[in-house]
């Protein structure tokens, strides 16, 4: 019987403000020590992880390990789908190895930051089926676009936070970078009125700070926005943060980090498998935050893809 072909390690050397590049040899050594048979591919730019995953699946790789942050993981998940959203037929697994600015999906999975332990866990854990989301939205030119997302997509102040974080100093670390970006964004944010519909319920209008459509539990460098979310229940947790004055808004941060956000006034928590959201005023450009990136704006439709990813972590 022939040996199983090697899995592919996709490494993003630009993750964590370039600090990931120095960790690639450490990760490779940890995987070898854990008994891994693999080949390494480096990303060169945006969407490269998507391309590399598709190439790995095309040659029959049994799985793909991904070294990077939430954005790299999200790109990798898109490699399991065609551009039109069709799931590529494969039994290959996806294994995140966290090394990025936010690291929020890895928090949900409780992946060790120590690469030796993370590699052991990845290679000696059986794959399990988890969910992801499919997002249809408007890009920054107003053209229709679509993509998968793995962790959380939010809209409102979150999109502005992403812009500020991605344009700002990532060397200060994930949580400080997102906290600084959040404070700057809240100071300049003008809350829009948004109309949202969950499954077959009646549409609801609200003036919002942010609405998060959650598969995972964390975003924004450790903000615990959806403490009850599960990545394998076939449902999004939808958390609405209604608009409020500046000081009460800032005071919410301790509840976000502390995991008590759902207990606070002005917070709505619902679940569903299909969500549609649009600005009440078409002139409002309500930005999206998709796994830490800002690809476009509302209107948007979020569709649950239950059990479509075989996770190994």
Mean pLDDT over residues 277-298, rounded? 94
Nearest to 54 by CA among 148, 153, 152: 148
Share of residues in the chain with pLDDT > 90 (%): 76
- What angle (nearest 5°) sits at the alpha carbon of residue 97, between those of residues 76 and 73? 20
- What angle (nearest 5°) sits at the alpha carbon of residue 74, between those of residues 68 and 77? 110
Q: Which fold has domain 132-307?
A: Tumour Suppressor Smad4 (2.60.200)
Say if domain 7-125 classifies as CATH 3.40.50.10330. Answer: yes
- According to the model, what pLDDT value does residue 159 have? 75
- According to the model, what pLDDT value does residue 57 have? 98
CA 189 – CA 209 distance, rounded (Å):
8
CA 73 – CA 148 distance, rounded (Å):
11
- Domain spans, the chain: 7-125, 132-307
Phi, psi of 247 (to 5 degrees): -65, -45
- According to the model, what pLDDT value does residue 171 have? 54
pLDDT in tens, 127-178: 999 999 999 999 999 999 999 999 999 999 877 777 777 666 655 555 677 7
Which two structure tokens, joined as six digits, stand for 34?
Answer: 């854990």
Print the SS3 string covering the chain: CCCCCCEEEEECCCCHHHCHHHHHHHHHHHHHHCCCCEEEEECCCCCHHHHHHHHHHHCCCCEEEEEECHHHHHHHHHCCECCCCCECCCCCEEEEEECCCCCHHHHHHCCCCCHHHHHHHHHCCCCEEEEEEEEEEEECCCCEEEEEECCEEEEEHHHHHHHHHHHCCHHHCHHHHHHHHHHHHHHHCCCCEEEEEECCCCCEEEEEEEEEEECCCCECCCECCCCCCCCCCCCEEEEEEECCCHHHHHHHHHHHHHCCHHHCCCEEEEEECEEEEEECCCCCCCEEEECCECCEEEEEEEEEEEEEEEECC
pTM confidence score: 0.92
Mean pLDDT over residues 191-219, rounded? 97
Least confident of 7-21, 115-129, 215-229: 7-21
Q: Within its chain, how far is the Cα of 98 from the centroid?
A: 12
- Beta carbons of 259 and 224 less than 8 angstroms apart: yes
């Amino acid at each position: 019987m022939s040996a199983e072909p090697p899995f592919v390690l996709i490494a993003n050397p630009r993750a964590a403000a370039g600090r990931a590049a120095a960790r690639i040899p450490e990760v490779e050594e940890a995987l070898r020590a854990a008994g891994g048979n693999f080949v390494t591919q480096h990303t060169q730019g945006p969407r490269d992880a998507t391309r590399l995953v598709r190439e790995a699946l095309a040659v029959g790789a049994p799985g793909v390990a991904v070294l990077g942050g939430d954005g790299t993981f999200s790109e990798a998940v898109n490699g399991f789908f065609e551009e039109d959203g069709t799931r590529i037929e494969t039994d290959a697994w996806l294994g995140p190895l966290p090394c990025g600015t936010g690291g929020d999906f890895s928090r949900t999975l409780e992946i060790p930051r120590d690469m030796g332990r993370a590699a052991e866990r990845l290679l000696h854990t059986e794959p399990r089926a988890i969910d992801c989301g499919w997002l249809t939205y408007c890009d920054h030119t107003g053209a229709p676009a679509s993509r998968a997302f793995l962790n959380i997509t939010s809209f409102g102040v979150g999109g502005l936070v992403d812009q500020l974080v991605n344009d700002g100093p990532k060397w200060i670390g994930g949580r400080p970078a997102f906290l600084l970006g959040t404070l700057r964004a809240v100071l300049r944010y003008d809350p829009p009125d948004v109309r949202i519909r969950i499954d077959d319920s009646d549409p609801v209008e609200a003036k919002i700070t942010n609405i998060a459509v959650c598969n995972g539990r964390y975003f924004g460098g450790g903000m615990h926005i959806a403490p009850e979310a599960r990545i394998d229940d076939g449902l999004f947790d939808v958390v609405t943060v209604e608009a409020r004055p500046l000081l009460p808004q800032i005071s919410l941060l301790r509840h976000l980090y502390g995991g008590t956000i759902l207990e606070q006034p002005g917070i709505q928590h619902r679940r569903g498998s299909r969500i549609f959201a649009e600005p009440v005023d078409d002139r409002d450009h309500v930005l999206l935050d998709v796994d830490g990136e800002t690809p476009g704006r509302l209107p948007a439709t979020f569709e649950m893809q239950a059990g479509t990813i075989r996770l190994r972590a």
